[in-house]
Amino acid sequence: MIYSKITGTGSYLPEKVLTNKDLEKLVDTSDKWIQERTGIKERHVAAEGETTCDLALHASRRAIEMSGISNADIDMVILATTTADKIFPGTACLLQKKLDVHGCPAFDVQAVCTGFVYALSIADKFIRAGETQCALVVGSETLSRILDWNDRSTCVLFGDGAGAVVLEAAAEPGIMSTHLHADGSYEHLLHVPHGISIGYEQLKAGEAYVYMEGNAVFKMAVNTLGQIVDEALEANRIGKSDIDWLVPHQANSRIIEATARKLKMSLERVVVTVAQHGNTSAASIPLALDVAVRDGRIKKGQTLMLEAFGSGFTWGSALLKF
């Protein structure tokens, strides 16, 4: 049997930090409200001209360095993003070019906040099928570009950043399972109302910003994340206590705490970066993973549960031995 295993992680945050106090000057909000309702204290924002691919490149180089591979070993690049650099080609191709990698498949995955879990699942399938030996899997976002900075209900929530992993073929798992889901009938609750197929005029008219019915999304997220945790445990015939670390999508500390309660996990076993990163969509899980690997909390051989919920709605999990 061939399995896939993460052999390196990396992440990158843009230099500029925007605190809740900074946001108080932009919209009618308060540091207290943001912290109480979301757990967010600050977020990073890309500099002018700094793109999703630029962030992805930094994160990828760090993951490649940790894994010990050379760029030429990479035979698949998958990049999860909602904020592509160009309408085409895919940002994965732009990243491939910057890494001087040639010929292997490179493509973007658009599953919004669940994008990294989708991308990881796809790479795992290619490796298990024997078609890929060494995949670079990235989540990278410049959400700040699609926020209405006059809308307090959304602009306080999101941030920019990137995370990456190198996933290699291995004799033992590695990735134990992935479960992916979507239900497009909830599109209207969390979306950017216009895209390029509606034409440039709407985009120019400023109708291409994040729109969210936060409270409805919140309730769905809490219920659904509880279910996907059960689904992953049952599929692997393991118990809650077998999980060493929960590495959740970082949207809201209250959602993360609810999932931890469901798993009967103390928050000491949950990687929480939302206070410093905000919601970085597809980048949030690989960013959190890299933080906890590099600070020594996550160790080789431990069992991790990655889970996400986002626009679509999309949701999913990955259970893995690190």
Asked whether the beta carbons of 157 and 251 are under 8 A apart, the reply is yes
Does residue number 16 form part of the binding site for ligand UT7 (CB under 6 A)?
no
The span from the CA of 161 to the CA of 99, in Å, is 18
- Site for ligand UT7 (CB under 6 A): which residue of 4, 67, 177, 279? 279
Catalytic site includes residue 279: yes
Does residue number 153 form part of the binding site for ligand UT7 (CB under 6 A)?
yes
Does residue number 255 form part of the binding site for ligand UT7 (CB under 6 A)?
yes
Compute CA distances 131 → 38, 126, 134, 295, whole Å: 42, 6, 10, 33
Does residue number 109 form part of the binding site for ligand UT7 (CB under 6 A)?
no
The span from the CA of 301 to the CA of 63, in Å, is 18
Which CB sits closer to ligand UT7, 8 or 310?
310
Does residue number 63 form part of the binding site for ligand UT7 (CB under 6 A)?
no
Catalytic residue of the set 134, 155, 277, 279: 279
CB contact set of 129 (below 8 Å; sequence gap of 6+): none
Minimum Å gap between C-beta 250 and ligand UT7 is 8
Which CB sits closer to ligand UT7, 223 or 267?
223
Burial (CB count <10 Å: 0-12, 13-18, 19+), residue 148:
middle
Only segment of 95-103, 248-256, 270-278, 314-322 that touches ligand UT7 (CB under 6 A): 248-256
Which residue carries 């940002």 as its tokens?
91
Binding-site size, ligand UT7 (CB under 6 A): 20
Does residue number 310 form part of the binding site for ligand UT7 (CB under 6 A)?
yes
Which CB sits closer to ligand UT7, 67 or 253?
253
Does residue number 280 form part of the binding site for ligand UT7 (CB under 6 A)?
no
Minimum Å gap between C-beta 313 and ligand UT7 is 9
Residue 231 structure tokens: 């689904």
Asked whether the beta carbons of 63 and 136 are under 8 A apart, the reply is yes
Q: Max alpha carbon distance in the chain (Å)?
A: 57
Half-sphere exposure of residue 236: CA atoms within 13 angstroms, side-chain side:
25
The conformation of residue 273, written as its DSSP 8-state character, comes to: -
Catalytic site includes residue 215: no
Does residue number 38 form part of the binding site for ligand UT7 (CB under 6 A)?
yes
**Residue least distant from ligand UT7 (Cβ):** 214
Does residue number 29 form part of the binding site for ligand UT7 (CB under 6 A)?
yes
Q: Which of residues 206-225 bind ligand UT7 (CB under 6 A)?
A: 214-215, 217-218, 221
**Dihedral angle of Cα 31, 265, 279, 223, to the nearest 10 degrees:** -100
Catalytic site includes residue 181: no
C-alpha distance across the termini of the chain, in Å:
18
Active site residues: 113, 249, 279
Q: Footprint of ligand UT7 on this chain (CB under 6 A)?
A: 29, 33-34, 37-38, 113, 152-153, 156, 214-215, 217-218, 221, 251-252, 255, 279, 309-310
